[in-house]
Amino acid sequence: MIHFEKITEDNYRDCQDIEVFEDQISFIGNISRSLAKAYIFYETSYPYIIYNDDNIVGFIMYRKLNELKNYLIDKIVIDKKYQNKGFGKKSI
C-alpha cells in the first residue's frame, strides 16, 4: 500500500538511494537540491518519501503557493526499479 512519510532528520538519507534511468537525470535533477529548496522555503514546501509497504519507491514534494491560494507538485520521482508499475499514478 502506498503511503508518504514526511522527510525528517532521521530519514532524509533514505531518499538519496532513489535512482532514475540515465536519460531521465537531466529533467529530474537532484533530490538533494530539492531538499535544500525545501529547507530554504520550509514554510511552504513539503517533501515526502513515497513508500509501498516498507519499500522506498520514490520522492514527492509539493509547495503551497500563497499568492495563488493553490498548491503545486514541485517534484515527483519514482525509482527506476518501480517505474511503469503504477506507483506514480497512485502517488498523485
Tell the burial category of 84 from Cβ atoms under 10 Å away from its Cβ (0-12, 13-18, 19+): exposed
What pLDDT, on the 0 to 100 scale, is given for residue 15?
Answer: 86
- Residue 31's φ and ψ, nearest 5 degrees, are -65, -35
What pLDDT, on the 0 to 100 scale, is given for residue 34?
Answer: 87
Structure confidence by residue, pLDDT tens digits, 39-89: 998 999 999 999 999 999 999 999 999 899 999 999 999 999 999 999 999
Domains present along the chain, CATH in parentheses: 2-91 (3.40.630.30)
